[in-house]
């Protein structure tokens, strides 16, 4: 005989939330539509209550509700989705531009918290923690083998609070003990900005957060002082972020009054147009923009606007093609519904969004398009200067520069942090190189002696790999070792600079700057030429 449980308040919750979603958000309350959705929601509530009360195993009613909402959204489009309150907090934090903690980038290597880099002038940097340090205790408790989420909970906390950590450092027999005072740590959306050739400033924007436009101007002013006369803007693998920040970034390179992006939905209130506002000092600098298949949403807005106004060349690979606008709707429990309400259009009228009848094919084609030749079956548009561009499937570059996939053996070594671990272990042998990074970048090479040491290290770690594949990809092995040495000796930006300087896409992009002079400057275009 089974125990009869008291009625669960699930039906009322479901009716309230689902009616709000299906009726209110979709705008069907007028003309009796709301009553129809109420009946549907009540029917669904009865079904879920039956599952919750009579299914052969006990179920979580909250999980049932979340899955019901997710199921509804999955019938609409690929980018309408639902997140829990906790997931939303973590998602939003990444775009806030700051958090409070000890200021380290870490990875879990063999279950040990390993410092990859420290934030310059941050709490950990100030007390002397360095890349390669292993955090083995927090507040006297061992932390080897804990989850990434648990690490974040232990190391983050209120500003001014203290945390004691015990660190194991390569080359020292005894552990080190540090007391770190937590502080506000900026999350940079432009982590890399440097002079990549005598007069070209390189900037990598990884996301569009609340601070991106402010970071952009700060970085550009610094690069100008270092001799920047041209700008290479890298938006590769930038999946998007805040629309207003994308508009501000595009504005930094356009004269005032130029349309950047417009949105069009089913109802008038979803139509909006963003126009450049400020006449910035960067509008006359020759510009090349790098994109790839991972560039989506806000990054496509920036690339599309600059391309349409002939402001610079867009090069690389066709972008993802995510041009749907999501409106956020907070539910009573703090969870959030991201509902697609409109589409993005570039200044020339191009729709950024690809077709998505088959969701599986949609994601597959986004990252692995069938062809990287000139696009077929796409609608033709024209830039302000009369150049041909294409709509309805991401942003097609002015010049396609295919990427070079990372060989599997190199990717495996990266995943296992073998380059980083070797560089950490042999840091002292290369300390004399730290005096001059530019000389290191231009002249230092990983020689055969270092490679022999690396092979010995791999054998000691019992790494299974093909010696033939190792030799075939030896130049890349040397490049990644040099990059990790730069990260250990200086910082992550220097390590990244080693890689980018040897990136074939970047190399070709730098060769294209002479062609930017042939573009019709946006200043010479009529304000209505793309309207």
Contacts of 120 (CB under 8 A, 6+ apart): 491
Which is the catalytic residue, given 183, 234, 308, 310?
A: 308
Residue carrying structure tokens 């009946």: 39
Q: Are 209 and 97 in contact (CB under 8 A)?
A: yes
User: Catalytic site residue 308?
Assistant: yes
Q: Which of 70, 56, 72, 65 is nearest to 8 (CA)?
A: 65
> What's the distance, Cα to Cα, between the start and end of the chain in Å?
73
3-state secondary structure at position 204: strand
- Give the DSSP letter of residue 208: B
Dihedrals phi, psi of 9, to nearest 5 degrees: -75, 20
Residue carrying structure tokens 């690069």: 223
Query: Hey, what's the torsion of the CAs at 243, 394, 372, 406, to 10 degrees?
Result: 30
Which is the catalytic residue, given 230, 248, 283, 322?
A: 322
Hey, which residues does 340 pair with through a beta bridge? 326
Dihedrals phi, psi of 428, to nearest 5 degrees: -65, -30
Measured CA to CA in angstroms, residue 219 lies from 171, 205, 215, 411 at distances of: 37, 11, 6, 31
Q: Distance between CA atoms of 501 and 511, rounded to whole angstroms? A: 13
Burial class from Cβ neighbours inside 10 Å (0-12, 13-18, 19+) for residue 197 reads middle
Query: Hey, what's the torsion of the CAs at 425, 430, 432, 436, to 10 degrees?
Result: -120
Which is the catalytic residue, given 124, 209, 297, 421?
A: 297
Q: Distance between CA atoms of 451 and 467, rounded to whole angstroms? A: 12
- Give the DSSP letter of residue 312: S
User: Catalytic site residue 159?
Assistant: no
SS3 per-residue string spanning 286-300: CEEEEECCCCCCHHH
Q: Which of 118, 114, 134 is nearest to 126 (CA)?
A: 118
Q: Which of 252, 238, 258 is nearest to 192 (CA)?
A: 238
User: Catalytic site residue 335?
Assistant: no
Q: Which of 138, 139, 136 is nearest to 108 (CA)?
A: 136
Q: Are 69 and 18 in contact (CB under 8 A)?
A: yes
Q: Which of 513, 440, 531 is nearest to 229 (CA)?
A: 513
Q: Which of 186, 184, 177 is nearest to 161 (CA)?
A: 184
Active site residues: 297, 308, 322
């Amino acid at each position: 005989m089974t125990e009869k449980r008291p009625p669960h308040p699930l039906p009322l919750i479901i009716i309230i939330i689902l009616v709000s979603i299906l009726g209110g958000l979709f705008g069907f309350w007028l003309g009796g539509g709301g009553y129809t959705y109420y009946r549907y929601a009540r029917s669904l509530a009865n079904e879920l209550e039956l599952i919750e009360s009579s299914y052969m195993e006990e179920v979580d009613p909250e999980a049932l509700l979340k899955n019901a909402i997710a199921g509804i959204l999955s019938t609409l489009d690929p980018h309408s989705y639902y997140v829990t309150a906790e997931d939303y907090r973590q998602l939003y934090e990444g775009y806030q531009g700051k958090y409070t903690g000890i200021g380290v980038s870490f990875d879990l290597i063999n279950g040990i918290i390993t410092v990859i880099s420290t934030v310059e002038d941050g709490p950990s940097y100030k007390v002397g923690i360095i890349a390669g340090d292993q955090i083995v205790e927090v507040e006297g408790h061992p932390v080897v083998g804990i989850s990434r989420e648990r690490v974040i909970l232990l190391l983050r906390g209120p500003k001014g609070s203290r945390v004691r950590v015990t660190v194991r450092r390569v080359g020292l027999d005894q552990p080190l003990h540090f007391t770190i005072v937590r502080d506000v740590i900026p999350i940079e959306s432009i982590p890399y900005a440097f002079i990549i050739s005598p007069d070209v400033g390189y900037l990598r924007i990884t996301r569009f957060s609340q601070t991106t436009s402010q970071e952009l101007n700060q970085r550009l002013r610094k690069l100008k002082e270092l001799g920047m006369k041209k700008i290479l803007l890298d938006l590769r693998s930038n999946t998007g972020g805040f629309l207003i920040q994308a508009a501000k970034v595009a504005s930094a390179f356009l004269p005032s009054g130029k349309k950047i992006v417009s949105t069009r939905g089913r109802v008038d209130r979803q139509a909006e147009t963003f126009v450049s506002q400020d006449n910035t000092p960067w509008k006359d600098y020759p510009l090349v923009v790098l994109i790839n298949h991972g560039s989506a949403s806000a990054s496509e807005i920036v690339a599309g606007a600059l391309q349409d106004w002939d402001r610079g060349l867009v090069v690389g690979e066709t972008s993802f093609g995510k041009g749907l606008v999501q409106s956020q709707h907070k539910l009573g429990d703090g969870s959030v519904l991201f509902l697609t309400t409109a589409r993005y259009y570039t200044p020339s009228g191009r729709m950024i969004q690809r077709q998505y009848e088959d969701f599986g094919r949609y994601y597959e084609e986004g990252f692995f398009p069938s062809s990287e030749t000139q696009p077929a079956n796409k609608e033709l548009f024209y830039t302000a200067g009369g150049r041909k561009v294409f709509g309805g499937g991401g942003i097609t570059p002015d010049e396609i520069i295919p990427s070079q996939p990372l060989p599997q053996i190199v990717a495996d070594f990266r995943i296992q942090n073998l380059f980083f671990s070797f560089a950490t272990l042999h840091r002292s042998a290369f300390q004399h190189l730290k005096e001059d990074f530019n000389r290191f970048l231009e002249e230092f090479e990983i020689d055969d002696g270092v490679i022999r040491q690396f092979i010995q290290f791999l054998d000691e770690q019992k790494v299974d790999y093909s010696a033939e594949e190792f030799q075939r990809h030896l130049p890349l092995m040397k490049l990644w070792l040099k990059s990790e040495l730069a990260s250990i000796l200086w910082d992550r930006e220097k390590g990244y600079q080693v890689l980018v300087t040897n990136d074939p896409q970047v190399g070709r992009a730098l060769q294209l700057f002479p062609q930017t002079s042939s573009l019709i400057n946006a200043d010479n275009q009529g304000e209505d030429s793309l309207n």
